[in-house]
Amino acid sequence: MKSKQLLFISDPAIKRIFQILDYIEIEQRFTIEELSKINNISSRTTIKDIKFIKEHFGDSIELIHDRSGYKFEEKSINIYSKNKMKLLENEVLFYLIGKIFYGKTESISELAYKHGFSETAFRRLLKQCAPVLSSYGLTWKLHPLDIEGDEASLRKFFKDFYYEGYKNPFMLIPDQDMRNLCIENFDKFEISSGTTTTSFQYTCFIAIQRFINGKKISIPPNLLEKAYQETDFTLLCSFLQAINELYNITLSREECAWIFLVSISRRTLKEVKKEHNFYDRFNSWPEIEEITNLYLSKQKLSLNIQKRIKIFIQTFFLSLKINDLLSPSLNKVNKKIIDTAENLYQSDFNKNINFIKEINVYLELSEEYLKDISASLTLLKLILEDIYKPKLNIAFIFEGDHFIVQMLQTQVNKIFNMHSVIFLPTWYLSKERLLEKSIDLYVTNYENYMPTCIKSTNYILIKSIPDERDWKRVIGELNSFQANLIGLLKDTQ
């Protein structure tokens, strides 16, 4: 959402500053030429922007110039964040979105006059960000100024704008009492959800405030019926009763169902039992089973991994269908997700687009968000493959000062926690004992007295106090071994 929010910024200089900050926060080191290319401006203007950043953020950042360019570092994240937020305090559209959220509308002429715009300039500003609204199926309504579209798409837009967007002086932030209630009740559901606590808070907060302002949601009857039958829905209603008392309202059952369905459609990637619960209770489309099997048959995965990840692919397609019925825009994802899938995993992404188009004859999802869906599927498969790939058994044999040995063991547990790690003393090293352990890779910092039985297997000798290059060598060896193991598993099935 942040990249799209730039279109809501009226001041070209402030827009440039945010594009610079987005870049240097990630890269840390940069040159004037790089920033000039990002903003498509002259080096002279970029130098002025850098000077402004140094003055505006003051001691909250460190911006050092040397022969290779600039180095950026946040010295005080809280102060830096507040100073960044101040940059948007005069941005009229950020103010306007907040007013519209609470159901307060004004005429274009009033807003333009109040914020120092001509009416023509203000209309140009609205036109500038209209494509963002359009991507949610929304449009500007001009008399009075409002946003038009179905309520579900509006709620999706508001959540993306405030939950994923830039912090700004007009932020919608759930109040502390409601946040506490969400935290206390969030993990009690049997079906569970892959959504985060804060995301759940925003879903609740937006639904409540829109309901208070008379904005009603509409849910297909078949989904409502399934939601009403769930024990988790009853639990949610009892939790929302406390929220009703907090706001002195009575949320309708349909609003409770909205919060419930939107939340559970965000699935987990590790909770196998809860994924089966979700799939068994909410799947009304037998074709999802066939679609999942077809998808897995096209992947270069061992049968073992296919079996382990199948339920997650099934619930992914089921979630897409539920989202589409609630509002197609709920399948819309952050632009960074699409960019990552399209640029870093282009081959998989293109295959998935073709696959989604092929199976959409049966799934009947809105075609407007097929690119978003393909990006999500691309990253989902990569994450699942990483989670459920075979774990390796790694034996570390460390010698040296006892503090150094314990420090190395701590580092190993952090770096290699995805694998099965054991620490062996040198006195343990006999051929018979090692054969019992079925070790895939030995790593040691001590070559003296290394028995022949280890030297004849996969082993890596690292420095007595390993550096980054040593750990990279070990990781590289593991990745190579894992790739060979996966290939072997495929060949035997």
- pLDDT tens sequence across 250-302: 889 999 999 999 998 988 888 899 899 999 999 999 999 999 999 999 988 88
- Say what the pLDDT of residue 445 is: 82
Asked if the model's pLDDT at residue 449 lies above 70, the reply is no
Asked if the model's pLDDT at residue 223 lies above 70, the reply is yes
Structure tokens at 382: 């990569």
Rounded to whole angstroms, the Cα distance separating 391 from 183 reads: 34
451 in helix, strand or coil?
Answer: coil
Rounded to whole angstroms, the Cα distance separating 493 from 488 reads: 9
Residue 70 has phi, psi (to 5 degrees) of -120, 150
- Say what the pLDDT of residue 356 is: 96
- Say what the pLDDT of residue 374 is: 96
Structure tokens at 442: 């030995």
Strands 139-142 and 145-148, by their bridges, are antiparallel
Asked if the model's pLDDT at residue 44 lies above 90, the reply is yes
Q: What is the mean pLDDT of residues 144-159?
A: 94
Q: What is the mean pLDDT of residues 373-396?
A: 87
Report the percent of the chain where pLDDT is more than 90: 51
- Say what the pLDDT of residue 290 is: 95
Confidence of residue 8 (pLDDT cuts 50, 70, 90): very high
Which single residue is written with the structure tokens 């199976």? 359
pTM above 0.85, yes or no: no
With 0-12 / 13-18 / 19 or more C-beta atoms within 10 angstroms meaning exposed / middle / buried, residue 228 is middle
Listed residue (282, 275, 259, 272) closest to 185, CA to CA? 259
Confidence of residue 455 (pLDDT cuts 50, 70, 90): low
- Say what the pLDDT of residue 169 is: 87
Asked if the model's pLDDT at residue 226 lies above 60, the reply is yes
Rounded to whole angstroms, the Cα distance separating 426 from 466 reads: 18
Structure tokens at 334: 């952050």
> 291, 364 in Cβ contact below 8 A?
no
> 214, 147 in Cβ contact below 8 A?
no
The mean predicted confidence, pLDDT, of the chain is 87
Which single residue is written with the structure tokens 């068994």? 280
Asked if the model's pLDDT at residue 491 lies above 50, the reply is no
- Say what the pLDDT of residue 247 is: 86
301 in helix, strand or coil?
Answer: coil
DSSP letters along 306-372, please?
Answer: HHHHHHHHHHHHHHHHHHHHH-GGGG---HHHHHHHHHHSHHHHHHHHHHHHHHHHHH---GGGHHH
Rounded to whole angstroms, the Cα distance separating 112 from 271 reads: 52
Q: What is the mean pLDDT of residues 112-120?
A: 91
Q: What is the mean pLDDT of residues 322-347?
A: 92
Side chain identity, residue 281: R
Q: What is the pLDDT of residues 338-363, one digit of tens each?
A: 998 998 899 999 999 999 999 999 99
Q: What is the mean pLDDT of residues 114-139?
A: 93
Asked if the model's pLDDT at residue 489 lies above 50, the reply is no
- Say what the pLDDT of residue 446 is: 76
Confidence of residue 481 (pLDDT cuts 50, 70, 90): low
Confidence of residue 490 (pLDDT cuts 50, 70, 90): very low
Containing 342, the helix (H) or strand (E) segment is helix 335-344
